[in-house]
Amino acid sequence: MKDKIMPRISHLHLAWKRYLEAPLLREGLTIKQFYLLKRLKAKGALYPAEIAEMLFCDRPTVSVIISNMEKKSWISRERDDHDRRKWLIRLTEEGKTALESSLGKMNPLDIDPVGSLSAEEVQLLYELLEKIRIHLEEKI
């Protein structure tokens, strides 16, 4: 049974991601791109290393995400005035428009993934997942 836990968690995560991403894909956005647009709107600018950490992905993957979003004119890349070796990623007007358009098309959260659990079960599930997270972070 123990060897079935992480695949089950992975399956649940993927199913939830697909549910959330479906309306975004119709707008030409992935969920990572959508989240990045939201964070850029809130922060103003981010470094690629910050984006990698925020999106839980490696630098080459972030480079692809940035390039794809830049091709769509949703973001711009500019040199950091303080450290010319670094790039800052900023939201463009086209990016703001894409973000606003996609916000209105998001699936309503009418599906509650933990709706079949009691309050006590939800609390226990949270505590168990947190325990797993801490254990993994200690090992990484």
How much is the CA Rg of the chain, to the nearest whole Å?
A: 18
Instruction: Say what the pLDDT of residue 8 is.
Output: 94
Does this model's pTM top 0.75? My answer is: yes
3-state class (DSSP) for residue 90: strand
Whole-angstrom distance, CA of residue 119 vs CA of residue 6: 23
Q: What is the mean pLDDT of each run of 10 residues along the chain (140 residues)?
A: 91 90 88 94 95 94 96 94 89 95 74 90 96 92
3-state class (DSSP) for residue 46: strand
- pLDDT tens, residue by residue, 39-66: 999 999 999 999 999 999 999 999 999 9
Instruction: Say what the pLDDT of residue 138 is.
Output: 93
**Contact yes or no for 59/47 (Cβ under 8 A):** no
Quick one: how many helices (H) and strands (E) in the chain?
6, 3
Whole-angstrom distance, CA of residue 51 vs CA of residue 48: 5
